[in-house]
Amino acid sequence: MEERLQKILAQAGVCSRRAAEELIRQGHVQVDGQTVSEMGIKVNPLAHKITVKGIPLSSPEKKITVLLNKPMGYVTTMNDPQGRPIVSSLIKGIGQRLFPVGRLDLDTEGALLMTNDGELAQKLLHPKFEINKTYQVTIRGEILPQTVQALERGIDLDGRRTWPSRITIQDKSNKTSTLLITIHEGRKRQVRLMFSAVGHPVLHLKRLAYGNLQLGNLALGSFRLLSPRDLARLFE
């Protein structure tokens, strides 16, 4: 049965469908020895030889998703030209290649999903599902109630207003404040930019939850396999 090439790559666990489109666009995908660079082409994976960067595409794998407690200093890419540690090096004993769902900054730690299920990754990243992400953030200075209210309503960042958020103050002094913030947008470095915009640079940032899936007491640098019930909780 023929399927769109980017969907086949995602189902085989190569990467998300969006990332697969970029691989095709850059000329890294070949079908029967011929480079494919146009979107929308349909292929039968049982009848055609598909390679990605010269590596033959394997058969669709068992779908696996894990929750990783990412340490600071690791990048959420599959390789890094600068030689920095990559998150996939922390996933041991799975026997399958997992890729990160979305990103978590180099200097941010906490909950990161990794999977070989391209369809799931696409769904999680789609704006219409509005998957909440909850962070614990420590900022410089004592934050005022009116500043919290402004952040919750939404502020202008680079000409675009942020969506409403939920913020709870956990602790504050005249030097620092610690808060919980829940957002569902995925702009790059959004939490850091939001607090910097109101005069409170971020000192430490950790993602505690992805949807209703909590990081809990998972040790830093460790991961756990997610059950079908865990995956369902992401969309509750």
Task: Give me the active site residues, please.
Answer: 105
Rounded to the nearest 5 degrees, what angle is found at the Cα of 119, between the Cα atoms of 115 and 121? 45
Nearest Cα neighbor of 109 from 144, 76, 153 is: 76
Instruction: Decide: 68 and 110 in contact? Cβ < 8 Å.
Output: no
Q: Which amino acid is at 96?
A: Q
Rounded to the nearest 5 degrees, what angle is found at the Cα of 37, between the Cα atoms of 35 and 38? 130
Which tokens is 115 given?
């999977």
User: Coil, helix or strand for 2?
Assistant: coil
The pairing of strands 65-70 and 99-100 is: unpaired
